[in-house]
């Protein structure tokens, strides 16, 4: 693509094979030089093994999210694994994965810094540069965001975790959340269960010479197919997922 460098960012797949297949097809159609996954790959959805195999086949770098820590035996004692059904779903995913698949997850990075074209850098993480449990939201106060982003910073900084697609300018840098492939949220759930949107999300970050473009993408999904896959699963969250997709 000449002097154009495009990196596709995917995040928070959460075991949703159907959504990941659609997103990867969209990325191929859009064109990207690289794909990077920002974490939370296998848990909660109905196809943890299939999603991990698809990612391994892609050969793309992956960053460790909090749910990737959970499948490797991390403690289920924070707010992101706060109910028994969530804990049961995480343990179900653990049991579904093979030793080679778990070894693949162990190879995930804590964070990445990549060149974006010849003039810019892209800093990648899951929650924040220092923690995969931190929420960076559209309404996070600028002073708090300044502290959480730390130093140094890339031209573009990107993380997932919140399931909220976002593009925000902060002190001259661009902060991107590509949203969630597997379970994008209508709004961040501050109380009660989240409402899942009927599409998959990702982002493309592009350097065209000195210019930077960020494109937030939404890919339509067959909700009936998602509901059928959930209903056929033994995942402890199967009923909740089937209802969310109707």
Axis-axis angle for helices 48-58, 84-96 (nearest 10): 60
Mean pLDDT of 15-35: 97
| pLDDT of the residue at 2 | 61
Phi-psi region of 92 (alpha: psi -120 to 50; beta: other; left: phi over 0): alpha
| pLDDT single digits (tens) 81-106 | 778 999 999 999 999 999 999 999 99
Mean pLDDT of 120-129: 97
Q: Which residue has the tokens 């924070």?
A: 78
Domain assignment of residue 217, given as a range = 4-245
| pLDDT of the residue at 187 | 94
pTM: 0.96
Q: How many domains does the chain have?
A: 1
Q: At a CB cut-off of 8 Å and minimum separation 6, what does 210 contact? A: 119
- Cα–Cα distance, 35 to 40 (Å, whole number): 15
In the chain, where do the E strands start and end? 4-10, 34-37, 112-116, 120-124, 156-158, 166-170, 173-177, 199-208, 211-220
- Cα–Cα distance, 117 to 207 (Å, whole number): 5
**CATH number of 78's domain:** 3.60.21.10
| pLDDT of the residue at 82 | 72
């Amino acid at each position: 693509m000449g002097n154009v460098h495009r990196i596709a960012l995917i995040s928070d797949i959460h075991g949703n094979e159907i959504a990941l297949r659609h997103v990867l097809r969209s990325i191929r159609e859009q064109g990207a030089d690289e794909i990077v996954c920002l974490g939370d790959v296998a848990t909660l959805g109905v196809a943890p093994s299939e999603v991990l195999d698809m990612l391994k086949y892609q050969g793309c770098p992956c960053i460790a999210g909090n749910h990737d820590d959970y499948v490797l035996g991390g403690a289920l004692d924070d707010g992101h694994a706060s109910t028994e059904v969530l804990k049961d779903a995480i343990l179900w995913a653990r049991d579904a994965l093979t030793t080679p698949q778990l070894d693949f997850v162990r190879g995930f990075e804590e964070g990445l810094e990549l060149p974006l074209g010849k003039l810019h850098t892209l800093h990648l993480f899951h929650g924040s540069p220092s923690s995969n449990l931190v929420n960076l939201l559209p309404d996070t106060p600028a002073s708090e965001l300044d502290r959480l982003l730390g130093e140094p910073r890339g031209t573009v900084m990107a993380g997932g975790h919140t399931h909220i697609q976002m593009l925000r300018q902060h002190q001259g840098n661009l902060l991107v959340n590509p949203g969630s492939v597997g379970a994008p949220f209508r709004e961040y759930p501050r109380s009660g269960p989240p409402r899942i949107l009927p599409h998959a999300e990702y982002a493309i970050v592009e350097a065209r010479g000195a210019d930077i473009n960020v494109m937030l993408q939404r890919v339509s999904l067959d909700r009936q197919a998602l509901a059928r896959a959930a209903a056929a699963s033994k995942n402890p969250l199967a009923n909740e997922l089937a209802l969310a997709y109707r």
